[in-house]
Amino acid sequence: MCELYAGEPQTSYDSTKRSIRLHGVVTSISLENKMWQILEQICEAENVTVPEFIATLYQEVVERHGSVKNLASMLRVTCLTFALNSN
């Protein structure tokens, strides 16, 4: 039943920490490798770098909602939204 999910290499859900600059401040983000892969797919489609995409998305969320409460969670939901809408 779970072969599709259980067969995923463990490296997919290992976490990697990356640093990006948001509003002039360096911020570290820890995400699962699979999430970074999806972000890279999004950025390729948008023709931007991952840091550019995250900074733009962050700014747009701040403009709409006043703040970003949990950046890593927001990025995971972004990846999920992309994956669900790519089919």
Each residue of 43-85: pLDDT tens digit? 999 999 999 999 999 999 999 999 999 999 999 999 999 999 9
Query: According to the model, what pLDDT value does residue 87 have?
Result: 66
What's the average model confidence in pLDDT over 9-22? 91
Q: Do 50 and 40 touch, CB atoms closer than 8 A?
A: yes
φ/ψ bin of 24: left (φ > 0), alpha (ψ from -120 to 50), beta (otherwise) = left
Q: CA dist 85 to 7, 12, 82, Å?
A: 23, 21, 5
What's the average model confidence in pLDDT over 13-18? 94
